[in-house]
Homo-oligomer: A and B are copies of this chain.
């Protein structure tokens, strides 16, 4: 295919074609998971998929080369395809197939837009994987990521893959490079994830705006020591090393200012036994990793208490790192 600059490597993320199978012509339901991008020190390069929350999407092929969008939630997202994250992804796929068909898509968003939990990526990745299932898996995962990034572009102005990749592949993923695309699936230990989404607004564009364009070399060195430690920790399944490496000296000190309660939640959760954690994506959600459910629930209680005292509405999840990305339900 001429579409995109993909890297053709042997040991790349493999196509999911075989396990899911193709269902051309039918109607399918999928679930598309929430994702945590950055993973503290891995700004713009690391991400992981969660078991919960997830969006539900139903897709079917139609004859006309259009995208019909039906929203099954109360978020009032645009139904015009060009303005909808799932819509632009499907339009690209239609265009790439010479406008020989179109899609009808029902979207039930359960991942709240603006939560920092990869809501737009879930729509974009769900659209790409769903369409591919209807097309007998004609695209490999790298190509699906490329299509889904059109949705990220619409949502945030930038073609990121740090939510898209784990949403499609599951587990913990590394985006070594965007140009050319080089996605590496990391080993992901069976960890619990506690998430709190305080109902405040932090726009991705604002969260990016407040970052300095230059960083001190000595801080960058600290950061890449931690990133290297985190990747080694995941690969070795060494939870102690993961915990010690969950430190961000560059982004978090700036962005955490936008999230009331952040410092208290982080320090108290670690005291309660959590391995560590930080801002999910560009916030405002906060996540903590734990080795067991008891600790994960202690972190949840700390989050609940903190935002209750701050009189900020919130929603919490105690879940796990998802082994799989977008999945066929029926």
**Chain A interfacial positions (CB closer than 8 Å to B):** 7, 9-11, 41-46, 174-177, 182, 184, 186, 211-218, 220-232, 235-236, 238, 240-241, 244-245, 250
Contacts and interface: CB of A to CB of B under 8 A. Distances in A.
A235 B240 contact: no
Contact of A45 (B213, B225, B240): B225
A174 B227 CA distance: 11
Nearest to A41: B224
Oligomer copy total: 2
Contacts of A241: 9, 11, 176, 184
Nearest to A233: B184
Contact of A176 (B184, B228, B236): B228
B11 A225 contact: no
Nearest to A44: B221
A186 B211 CA distance: 32
29 contacts: A7-B244, A11-B236, A11-B238, A11-B241, A45-B225, A46-B228, A174-B229, A174-B232, A176-B241, A176-B245, A177-B225, A177-B226, A177-B229, A184-B228, A211-B217, A212-B217, A213-B216, A214-B215, A214-B216, A214-B217, A215-B217, A217-B250, A220-B224, A220-B250, A224-B224, A224-B227, A228-B231, A231-B235, A235-B236
Contact of A217 (B11, B42, B213): B213
Contacts of A229: 174, 176-177, 182, 184
Contact of A220 (B176, B182, B215, B225): B215
Contacts of A42: 224, 228
